[in-house]
Structure 1
Amino acid sequence: MWDGVFAEFRPGFASSEAEIARAEAELGFRLPDSYRSFCGACGAGRTNDHFRIATPLPYEAADLVTRANLIALSVSAAIRALAANPDLADQPVRFDIEGGDEAILERACFFGEGDDGAFLFWDVQGTGEYDIWVMGADLESIRFGGETLLEFVQATQGPRIHTVLGPTALPLPSRFEGIDAATLARAGLPD
């Protein structure tokens, strides 16, 4: 399925079922089917020349659980720093959340990053597929990305990208560039 989503497709190091199971146990929820499919077919790599989607891997630097925790800590630290800034003391930190559900951040599990500094996360309420959201690099805007990873990837390749990344965004190239195990190993030692 995924090789048909990308005009140019070079798979990377794929997640094993054991790595997926480990990530699910550590995160505390079943990973969405569209994402599980992506992990096996595409593996580690760069999507549409813009997004790095973390997958469950034995390489800590690229592993889903490690990246999810690191991004969550980074976002929390940035929000605390903004709140503590005396120049902004009279302006509480607020998010412009599509749909207005502020509780979405309490249910967020981050799983990807854009080259522009945006973060991808699932709203992990319910079961099955989880809605995908994009937190802008400004740490202020949160936009709906899609109901599945497949829908999100296809949306960013076409005119719907404006609703996902903003009105000035142009459709991204239909490309997946995988990262092999040797390159991942150089980035960090296996767990």
Structure 2
Amino acid sequence: MWQTVFADFTAGPKADPADLDRAETELGFPLPESYRSFCLDCGIGLACGSLRIAIPSPTESADLGTRSELIAHSIASVLETREGHRFEVEGDDPSVVERACFFGETEAGEFLFWDVVVGADQTERREYEIWVMGADLESVRFGGADLPDLMRRLQGPAVRGILGMGAEPLPSSFLGQVS
């Protein structure tokens, strides 16, 4: 599937199914199918010339659990210094930030997160909407319905609605990190 998302594709070190299952247990919710596919097929690397997606990995700097916790803690620390801070959320539903599970970031400092809405049946794998928090920690914009949708939208004119009006379409590439 990912060769249809990226015209230029070189896989990096990949997660295995046991790593993904462990991450689900640690996080407490099923990982989206598109994300599982990304971890198994693409691995660690740079997507669209700008995005780093964390995957369950023994490499701490790339590990989903470590990165998610670090990003959330860093954002919370900054927001503690901003009295009365409010996010400007596309669609005006600020609760999306309360359900955030961060899983990636851009080279320019934006953060990718899933809006993790878990129903009564937590064993069902599903997709969670992907949102992008601006590097300013003020704007939150819809990124995509799933990971391939996000990547495709970033490669076309929709990038302006995700990364800002000055953004240009990102390259259709995935460059795996050399292990």
Give the TM-score, by structure 1 length.
0.88
1:180 Cα offset (Å):
3.1
Percent of counterpart pairs with the same letter? 52
Gaps of 5+ in 2: 119-124
Q: How many aligned residue pairs are there? A: 173
Q: 1:170 aligns with which of 168, 171, 174?
A: 168
Task: After TM superposition, list the pairs within 5 Å mapping 1:109-124 onto structure 2.
Answer: 109-124=101-116
1:99 Cα offset (Å):
0.9
Please say which structure displays the higher CA radius of gyration. 1
* CA distance in 2: counterparts of 1:162 and 1:180, whole angstroms: 31
1:39 Cα offset (Å):
0.5
* CA distance in 2: counterparts of 1:113 and 1:124, whole angstroms: 17
Alignment match, 2:47:
47
Amino acid at match of 1:168: G
Gaps of 5+ in 1: 84-91, 182-191
More helix by share: 1
Alignment match, 2:133:
135
Q: 1:98 aligns with which of 90, 101, 105?
A: 90
Amino acid at match of 2:39: C
* CA distance in 2: counterparts of 1:71 and 1:138, whole angstroms: 14
1:2 Cα offset (Å):
0.2
* CA distance in 2: counterparts of 1:180 and 1:43, whole angstroms: 11
1:82 Cα offset (Å):
2.2
3-state SS of the aligned residue for 1:133? strand
1:5 Cα offset (Å):
1.1
3-state SS of the aligned residue for 1:82? coil
Alignment match, 2:37:
37
